[in-house]
Amino acid sequence: MNEREIDHLTRELMRGTTEQPSASLNSRIMALIMQEKKRVYRYYIKRRFTPAGILGMFVAYMFVLVGILYLVRLSPGGIETVLGSLRAYFSIVLTVASGISCFFLFTQLDNWLKREEMRRQNTSK
């Protein structure tokens, strides 16, 4: 059935009833339908690691590994001497690593809170 046949059938059924819908009711229903069509829904896609990002992390870790192996090779005492000399810098490295980790943690938390707020605003409309 097409829309014209459905409309005709509906009108035939309503003629037999005692009450007819008013023109204002029809216009309000049509306004609600048009308003529903105008509503825009936003969808968010989570960003995953890109191939370039994964490759970048791999290269960075490889540079760190090569640097450590180079230090071990240059030192006359082997790995014990390198670990002994790194022990003096351990607190500084730990502090910097903790600061960077906290920065990324709070950045991700802030992004998550913004997404949740936008989702709440979109669903409340």
Question: Residue 120 and residue 91: Cα distance in Å, rounded?
Answer: 43
Question: Residue 125 and residue 107: Cα distance in Å, rounded?
Answer: 28
For residue 60, pLDDT over 90 is answered with: yes
User: Which pLDDT value is given to residue 99?
Assistant: 94
User: Which pLDDT value is given to residue 15?
Assistant: 74
User: Which pLDDT value is given to residue 35?
Assistant: 73
pLDDT in tens, 3-55: 888 888 888 877 766 566 677 777 888 888 777 666 666 766 667 777 788 88
Lowest mean pLDDT among 49-63, 73-87, 90-104, 111-125: 73-87
Output the six-digit token pair for 75: 């030192």
For residue 98, pLDDT over 90 is answered with: yes
Q: Read off φ and ψ for residue 73, nearest 5 degrees.
A: -70, -35
User: Which pLDDT value is given to residue 26?
Assistant: 76
Question: Residue 21 and residue 24: Cα distance in Å, rounded?
Answer: 8
Domain boundary assignment for the chain: 3-38, 51-124
